[in-house]
Structure 1
Amino acid sequence: MQDISEQFATFKDCLARRFIGQPAAGADDTSDLNDFILYLADEVWPFLPPVLREASYDARDKLPNADTISLDNTPTSFVDTIVSYGLSSDNDAAVEFLRRTVHDYITQTSAPPPPWGTTRTETCELCQRAVPLTYHHLIPRSTHTKVLKSKWHPERMLNSVAWLCRPCHTAVHHCATNIELARNFHTMELLLEREDLQKWKGYAAKQRFGVIQRK
């Protein structure tokens, strides 16, 4: 069964970048590249240590150095394909190709989340208007201690923000308490599932910023 985890998708992307970066036979033909990379990833993924297949920023302290990982059980199908496509000269070089891919994968999965300031959008993430924005802590700061103690979310999520205009920011806090926001509405996707915020979104999207509309 094909793996659809976030980690698998990351590994597949790392493998694709390694493949594309090599002057290998067939590398210019990208029409079937996705299927080819998916085949390679499916072949080798189950043979990687579980600690790698569950890699994340929160588990970064448990991740081994790529140079120390044993890859002796790398499937022959993977090795033969890497060699036949000219990505490596022999079996040992094919395993080294995999090791470099694993190194890329560990680096990417253990990287810290981006600083909230770098996630800034051009429009409000609720009403989609291009107006001055504020940042809304998706997990309110006043709840951080409780969130960690109750293990509702991993620590890396605590500083996640959404960029909202002031009216939408106020509407979000009006619809739920900080505890409710932290536990049940900690992403924009979850917030947008609320019927009351969908109604607010429809209203706010029609308002001209800074203008009071009267008939």
Structure 2
Amino acid sequence: MCFFLMLGTAECFLLAVMAYDRYVAICNPLHYPLIMNQKTCIQMAIGSWISGMPVQIGQTCQIFFLNFCNSNKINHFFCDVPPVIKLACGDTFVNEVTMYAVTVVFVAGPFFLILASYSKIISTILKFPTAKGRAKAFSTCSSHLLVVLLFFGSGTITYLRPKSGRSAEVDKLLSLFYTIVTPMFNPMIYTLRNKDVIAALRKLLYIK
């Protein structure tokens, strides 16, 4: 559970960093090499990986203070926070509040940063003089936007729904998107826009 939460948090921040990268590339193209230099990229990557570790370790440790007096089998694919809290008997108020607070900070926070970046990006793209230029700029953001919608949409609904309105089957279905579907499609979403990859696939499939 701890590693899952830490990796999920890192994914949220990395997607926000990627949105900022697209913002700089489209809105400040001449300053891009100066702003997004190697040192800045490394700092952003390291910050994304370690930023959520202390909080998620603490959230996982809270589970050890819950009482489990009935079955120890969760109705889920993996050991996630909502199904474990649902399985516990006794007062889970603190755990639920912590889960909602962490979700707002580490999921909703990066999501709003992404929205802010794309609002600036769209505003800039619409000012482009040619339709071809606008289409090219939009296409560079399409893969990232698709991943953001899949990952944040399913994650936000899963963790911010009230306990009374939870359904185990719906939770399992939503978890498929941010644990299996999004990671599975990431290579295709990101690399199929690469000219070298497309050329290699055409060569492999004998497509002229």
TM-score, L = length of structure 1: 0.27
Which protein is richer in helix relative to its size? Answer: 2
TM-score, L = length of structure 2: 0.28
Instruction: Decide which structure has the larger Cα Rg and report it.
Output: 1
Q: Greater relative contact order (Cα 8 A, min sep 6): structure 1 or 2? A: 2
